[in-house]
């Protein structure tokens, strides 16, 4: 039984579930929520790469998400470019802006970095909100086109969009997995654990921090572009700190610095808040204290909690086996 429940099989089962979900479920609304959850998870992965694995808490993530969304929106609506070209360009633009901001932001550390990025996020929001001739301000950007068909595949139905999102989502998870388990990922973790030590080991912390920052903005921009292509209407409120704090909540609840954390946190909270519809405006009454309690009692979130107890259980088992053998012998 335990053999069947190993890591690879669980992942395969989950993917299979995600693939057959539209056939089991006839409710369009759930499909919509699930598609959104995939998109948010991608943004959370970006945040997790920087905050969880590199140890730099960026509070400008909502802003970068909005840059990606507005990038796609403006290129298609005002620039007249095709969807896929814009979809490719939007995350790259976000990355370029992230590179410039990262160059300055990463000169600061810890609290200063958090405050700096919080201010950057606010500036992004204000610029989007006030620059009416470009972004239409509070009216928002309307009429973003749906993805154009690739060959015979069209993306007009919700099911097709669900699969498109799922494919990109799985790709992102794979890429994140590869990054975290590569030398670069180990370098990030080394920086998180001790920047001085990493530096003394000959790691260029500056270069690697910048790489982590730029990668994180890439995923934020990608998620933003997907959001704009899916919802097809965007307003300046997607750049507000609320979004950053939402993303942060998903990450902390799921488990900061873990691979499964962003998925667990995002899906759990989104599904919970759907079932607690009456809570919509007040959901933070529950999730705010949850965030604080988790950070006090289980700083690595739900996934961290499970991993800890799982490994405790495993070591306990290993410890007890020799004892039994001694008795028998």
Residues 31-50 that bind another protein (CB under 8 A): none
Note whether 64 binds another protein by CB under 8 A: no
Out of 170, 259, 284, 306, the residue judged to bind another protein by CB under 8 A:
284
**Segment contacting another protein by CB under 8 A, of 1-9, 112-120, 171-179, 205-213:** 112-120
Distance of closest approach, residue 122 Cβ to another protein, in angstroms = 6
Out of 28, 110, 186, 313, the residue judged to bind another protein by CB under 8 A:
110
Note whether 291 binds another protein by CB under 8 A: yes
By C-beta, is 87 or 287 nearer to another protein? 287
Nearest to 169 by CA among 224, 112, 223: 223
User: What is the rounded CA–CA span in Å between residue 257 and residue 42?
Assistant: 15
Report the chain's terminal Cα–Cα distance, integer Å.
Answer: 28
* DSSP code, position 50: I
DSSP 138-155: GG-EE-PPPPPPBTTB--
**From start to end of 22-64, where are the E strands?**
none
**CA 133 centroid distance within chain:** 31
Out of 29, 104, 233, 313, the residue judged to bind another protein by CB under 8 A:
104
Cβ burial, residue 293 (10 Å; 0-12/13-18/19+): exposed
Instruction: Write the Ramachandran bin of 232: left for phi over 0, alpha for psi from -120 to 50, otherwise beta.
Output: left
Other residues' Cβ atoms within 10 Å of the Cβ of residue 23: 8
Other residues' Cβ atoms within 10 Å of the Cβ of residue 84: 12
Distance of closest approach, residue 104 Cβ to another protein, in angstroms = 4
Note whether 283 binds another protein by CB under 8 A: yes
Note whether 79 binds another protein by CB under 8 A: no
135 to 67, 78, 121, 129, 238: CA distances (angstroms): 11, 9, 16, 8, 13
Nearest to 177 by CA among 65, 260, 294: 260
Note whether 108 binds another protein by CB under 8 A: yes
Note whether 282 binds another protein by CB under 8 A: yes
From residue 241 to residue 270, what is the string marking binding to another protein with x (rule CB under 8 A)?
A: x---x--xx--x---x--------------
Note whether 299 binds another protein by CB under 8 A: yes
Note whether 287 binds another protein by CB under 8 A: yes
Out of 154, 156, 292, 315, the residue judged to bind another protein by CB under 8 A:
292
**Segment contacting another protein by CB under 8 A, of 32-40, 140-148, 154-162, 294-302:** 294-302
The residues that touch another protein, with contacts defined as CB under 8 A, are 51, 55, 57, 104, 107-112, 114-116, 118-120, 122-123, 126-127, 130, 241, 245, 248-249, 252, 256, 281-285, 287-293, 295-296, 299
């Amino acid at each position: 039984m335990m053999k069947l429940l190993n890591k690879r099989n669980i992942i395969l089962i989950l993917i299979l579930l995600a693939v057959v979900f539209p056939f089991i479920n006839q409710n369009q609304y759930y499909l919509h929520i699930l598609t959104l959850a995939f998109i948010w998870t991608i943004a959370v992965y970006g945040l997790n790469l920087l905050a969880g694995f590199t140890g730099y808490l960026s509070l400008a993530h909502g802003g970068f998400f909005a840059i990606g969304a507005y990038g796609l929106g403006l290129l298609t609506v005002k620039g007249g470019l095709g969807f896929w070209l814009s979809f490719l360009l939007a995350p790259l633009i976000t990355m370029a802006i992230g590179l410039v901001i990262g160059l300055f932001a990463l000169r600061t550390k810890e609290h200063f970095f958090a405050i700096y990025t919080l201010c950057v996020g606010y500036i992004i929001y204000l610029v989007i909100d006030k620059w009416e001739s470009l972004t239409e301000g509070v009216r928002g950007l309307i009429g973003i086109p749906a993805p154009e068909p690739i060959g015979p595949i069209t993306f007009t139905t919700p099911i097709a969009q669900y699969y498109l999102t799922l494919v990109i989502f799985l790709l992102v998870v794979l890429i994140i997995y590869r990054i975290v388990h590569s030398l670069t990922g180990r370098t990030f973790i080394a920086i998180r654990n001790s920047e001085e030590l990493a530096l003394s080991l000959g790691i260029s912390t500056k270069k690697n921090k910048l790489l982590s920052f730029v990668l994180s903005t890439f995923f934020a921009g990608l998620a933003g572009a997907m959001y704009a292509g899916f919802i097809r209407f965007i307003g300046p409120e997607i750049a507000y700190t609320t979004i950053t704090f939402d993303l942060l909540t998903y990450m902390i609840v799921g488990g900061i610095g873990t691979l499964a954390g962003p998925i667990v946190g995002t899906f759990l909270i989104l599904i919970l808040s759907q079932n607690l519809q009456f809570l919509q405006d007040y959901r933070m009454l529950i999730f705010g204290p949850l965030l604080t309690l988790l950070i006090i009692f289980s700083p690595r979130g739900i996934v961290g909690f499970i991993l800890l107890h799982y490994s405790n259980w495993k070591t306990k088992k290993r410890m007890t086996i020799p004892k039994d053998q001694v008795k028998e012998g």
